[in-house]
Amino acid sequence: MSQRTLPLLIINLGGEMIYILDQRLRAQDENDDKTQRGRWTDADRKRVMNDIVGTMFNKAFLEELLRPQDLYSHRALRTVLTRIAHASIMRLNLASMDKLYDLMTMAFKYQIALCPRPQDLLLITFNHMDTIKELVKDNPSLVNQINEAQRQLIEVYTPISDGEFQLIRHTLLVLFQDMQIRVSIFLKENIQNPNGHFVLQTSGPVPYGFEVPGLIRWFNAKGREVRRTRFPSGGSYVSAVRQGSFDLSGDRVTLLGTNMYSTPSPEEMDPSTTSKSQRKAKQADTMPNPLAKEELNLLAKLMGGMEVQKLSNVDAAFKVNLLALDQEEEGIGISEGTEHQSSRVINIQATQDQLASTELARIAGEFDEGGIPTEGLGNKGDDLLAMMDEL
């Protein structure tokens, strides 16, 4: 296990988190209902992005992050990323954070799987940082913070050997090997199977510095080539045009790590495919039945382990719900704490009911054969979390 894995992991996961939140906040601002009081504005979105980016690239935080250390567990990673997300006026409930974590981890896992060379992990990281700089380009101070973080990464990782980069990639794959969560945006593009496994294409450019497979060369005792034989490689490969830039700026060549949520689907880009009236009719068809709200609330109470979200009791900060109604990764409803929830959205927050917690804990304890308490975060990540509390 490499002790240089954590910085790349946190920055890439944080980048995916920023992509998702930015996309959903923009979608909320473009809502057709412009008369809604207290709606999420573009100024609010920029404030959230600035706060999150400022926390993630804080100097003290990065210094602790770049210290050689073992990789965190998923629980510790979730805690760190939750602290980063909550550095702004936005708040995510537990179920929304679960969904957000699933989306960002599966996106990064896909990028690792498609990474041509182990050292291209650094190019993926730079793509995330370049895109984040574009999102906060109106704030020169944050851009300088990201540039300084990028310089530190160049200083730390460019001298690393290919073998060490391979160990970093192996460490990341081991971390994500049991995560096979289906993501609808991947399923629609046919890059993920229904069982959660990714589809790897046997075509495209080979890694930079490598030859296209399909050729066998014979050499004699003097080292001279005497014969060539070709064989079917099983794919359609081409030579790499050039190597991506590992500098502060430049052409990274690869698109891995860029914002996949910023490009609309081909159907949405073509105005002739769907008219405005057709879009409204489609929204009406997918509108949930209002009677289902009471049924779901009753079901939640009967189950004893779910509590229906009541907006009158939430904080004054903005709430972001990442639970999808129509799409697995895109159905995020955003509302302000003082506003009434729309009847078109059914929100159930999957948090434990206080009245049933004792009985549920007793039942869960019966399945614990050893009676061993759940392992906490331990010492791993404590220094980083304590530093974040001081930011």
Question: For 4-56, what is each residue's pLDDT tens digit?
Answer: 999 999 999 999 999 999 988 888 766 645 545 456 788 888 999 999 999 99
Range with the poorest average pLDDT among 93-97, 211-215, 244-248, 260-264: 260-264
pTM, rounded to two decimals: 0.69
Is 351's pLDDT higher than 70?
no
- Give every CB contact of residue 94 below 8 A, 6+ residues apart in sequence: 349, 350, 351
At 46, the amino acid letter reads K
| Confidence at 371, pLDDT banded by 50, 70, 90 | very low
Range with the poorest average pLDDT among 93-107, 135-149, 157-171, 262-276: 262-276
According to the model, what pLDDT value does residue 261 have? 83
Mean of pLDDT values over 238-267: 81
Mean of pLDDT values over 205-221: 90
- Of residues 348 and 71, which shows the higher confidence score? 71
Question: For 98-127, what is each residue's pLDDT tens digit?
Answer: 899 999 999 999 999 998 899 999 999 999
According to the model, what pLDDT value does residue 118 have? 92
Average pLDDT, the chain: 75
- Exposure string of 156-193, with b = 16+ CB inside 10 Å and e = fewer, is ebeebeeeebebbbebbeebbeeeeeebebbeeeebbe
Mean of pLDDT values over 208-236: 90
Total H helices, total E strands in the chain: 14, 9
Residue 287 tokens read as 């509108």
Reported in sequence order, the residue ranges of the chain that DSSP labels E, i.e. its strands, are 90-92, 203-205, 215-219, 225-230, 236-238, 307-308, 318-321, 333-335, 348-349
According to the model, what pLDDT value does residue 172 have? 95
